Structure 1
Amino acid sequence: MNTSTCAASTHVMRPGVLIGRSALVTGAGSGIGRAIALRLLELGMDVYGIGRREEALAQTASQARQLPGEFDYASANIRDTAAIEALVAEIGERRGLDLLVNNAGGQFFAPAAQISRKGWDAVIDTNLNAVFVITKAAYPFLKARKGTVVNISLSGVDRGSMGIAHSIAARAGVLGLTRTLALEWAADDIALNCIGPGAVITEGLAGEAARAMLDRLVAATPMGRATSVEEVAELVAFLATPAGHLMTGQLLQIDGAAHLGPGLHMVAAQ
């Protein structure tokens, strides 16, 4: 597996460019979400992180101590509609909201015929329904600040992919939601986009099957390497700046041209 990255060359934002702004990042306790939170903090943005595990969020907070932005966090179940709506309202009223990053998500590999209704509902609730609930709850605060929403999705989400029917259905729904809200909320000057990373190597990667799948994905990526969490974070930071605000309703695939290659739907069958 080629885990090399070009993280050192991805930091192109001017220091302090996001000072005075506030963000909410879900799934901020690890992986892509942690990288996004830390990069925004590094650029001066205040960040509120949400995640399932308080100890993981505390680790993010520890890494954030020397950064210019202020980091606060709460453990929360994003599938608990009433609780998450109340938390988003509390954050928005206390801090205001310039940026919402819907990063939290999850899935498991299984052929569609082996996915139970319970498993299906869990992935749809996490990867689609929670995005709608959180984004809707954040709307009045985003409207007040002419804010930005970034939804973290998957490379090739607009194509079929074997082994993750539940996740592809959910992520395709998020893409449709993103584009619809980009139209509905354009008059409020709110920009919404999806980012589709390719194969991402994170500290949370577990299981031989998952690692073998990622090996094949990297091998099938035309540029021949994984997407780094830092590259995803830098793209989020750009979208949070005025320079990125006119870009809206897009699926931005940061995947080394993987979406133009055989795709997960072929790689998974190997």
Structure 2
Amino acid sequence: MNAPSSRYRSVFAPGLFDGQVIVVTGGGSGIGRCTAHELAALGAQVVLVGRKPEKLEQVKAEIEASGGKATTQAFDIRQEEAVCAAIAAVISTHGRIDGLVNNAGGQYITPLAAITAKGWEAVIHTNLTGGFLVARECYVQSMQANGGAIVNIVADIWGSMPNMGHSGAARAGMVSFTETAALEWAASGVRVNAVAPGYIASSGMDHYPPEAGGMLRAMRNTVPAGRFGNEAETSAAIAFLLSPAASFISGSVLRVDGARPQVRMGWPMEIPDAQTQQRAAVRPFDGFHLAQTPRVFRNDEPND
């Protein structure tokens, strides 16, 4: 483990995003909060987007306390008029938008047979329609003229998402949107990619009911790497795709999942022991100085 720090410990070069304006939706918690911290630590002017102003202001204060720059825009990404107005306000304040992290999303655990039309539509609107609207407006209002990079956050949809079929359908749609936007917007100098987190120990797990705790804690046993990922490992993938190092990467999905989709019935999967999990190539990266363990793991085994 690294020594405690008062700033984000990114693996990327200081100043990587100096002068860039990057919008992060869902920036008030979880992966979005972590990513906003990393981008700000690398010099970006971060615009935090979410529905709850108090959460955005808290993250803004955290970033500023670490020496970074952040502003906030509270609106519902599912509301087209609100999206158009908010993106216009960002451009009015900052002049342009160089990057977008389309991270806002959410779902709930339920089997397909029990999902109502209202529940289905709510998840589709949050995880697909809202992301489309924000990306479209960032493109039309700024990136079409100035170029930029978009990273859409999807999920581990390979092999299905049992008990989250509404989210799986939406995320699969976002993968297709990513590929299409990469093609249609390339002539404007815009790259569009996606990051697909697997089982990540983030605050998003705190929204699941207590009875899901056992299932959540057991999920690491289905990951060949033998552990959950963390927010910083996801943020690093996002930062890479936004960076000049990814300048010839577009229309791709970068999985951050410890090889979980490769698990096959009949294959005698061996979970790495604690010593193996600390080897340089696979040990957890603890870059986020303000990371918090989800409540569901706080009374569990030390390596969860």
Q: Same fold (TM over 0.5)?
A: yes
Q: State the secondary structure of the residue aligned to 1:105.
A: coil
1:231-264 per-position Cα deviation (integer Å, ceiling 9, x unaligned): 111111111211112111111101100121259x
Confirm whether residue 166 of structure 1 aligns to residue 166 of structure 2.
Answer: yes
In structure 1, runs of 5+ residues without a counterpart are 264-270
**For 1:152-209, what per-residue CA distance to the aligned partner results, in whole angstroms no more than 9, with x for missing partners?**
1112x24322111100000000000000111111111211111011111123423224
Q: Residues 87-113 of structure 1: CA distance to partner in whole angstroms, max 9, x if unpaired?
A: 012212432111011100000011101
Q: Distance in 2 between matches of 1:213 and 1:74?
A: 35
Contact 1:49 1:72 in 2 (8 A): yes
Which aligned pairs between 1:49-128 and structure 2 lie closer than 5 A? 49-95=48-94, 96-128=96-128
Higher relative contact order (CA 8 A, sep 6+): 1
Tell me the amino acid that sits aligned with residue 215 of structure 1.
R
Structure-to-structure mapping, 1:1-270, within 5 angstroms: 11-95=10-94, 96-140=96-140, 141-155=142-156, 157-206=157-206, 207-261=209-263
Q: 2 CA distance for matches of 1:118 and 1:101?
A: 27
Aligned length, in residue pairs: 258
* Displacement of 1:37: 0.4
CA offset at residue 81 of structure 1?
1.3
Superposed CA RMSD in Å reads: 2.1
Report the alpha carbon displacement of residue 142 of structure 1 after superposing the two structures with TM.
1.7
Residue identity in the other structure for 2:203: E
Q: What is the one-letter code of the residue matched to 1:72? A: T
Task: For 2:65, give the aligned amino acid.
Answer: Q
Q: Could you say if the C-alpha distance between residues 246 and 120 of structure 1 is closer, same or farther in structure 2, counting changes exceeding 3 Å?
A: same
1:68, distance to aligned residue in structure 2 (A): 4.3
DSSP 3-state at the match of 1:127? helix
Paired with 1:219 and 1:23, the residues of 2 have a C-alpha distance of 36
How many Å apart are 1:10 and its aligned residue? 7.5
User: When the two structures are superposed, what TM-score results if normalisation uses the length of structure 1?
Assistant: 0.90
Distance 1:245 1:68, change over 3 A: farther
8 Å Cα contact 1:92/1:138 also seen in 2:
no
Counterpart residue type for residue 148 of structure 2 = G
| Gap regions ≥5 residues in structure 2 | 266-304
Q: Answer yes or no: is the 8 Å Cα contact 2:48–2:60 preserved in 1.
A: no
**Structure 1 stretches of at least 4 aligned residues deviating more than 6 Å after TM superposition:** 7-10
1:106–1:212: structure 2 CA closer, same or farther, 3 Å change rule? same
Q: Is the 8 A contact 1:44 1:68 kept in 2?
A: no
Using structure 2 for the length normalisation, give the TM-score: 0.80
- Take 1:142 and 1:90, find their aligned partners in 2: how far apart are those partners? 15
Query: After alignment, is 219-228 or 158-167 more displaced?
Result: 158-167
Cα 1:10–1:62 shift into 2, 3 Å: closer
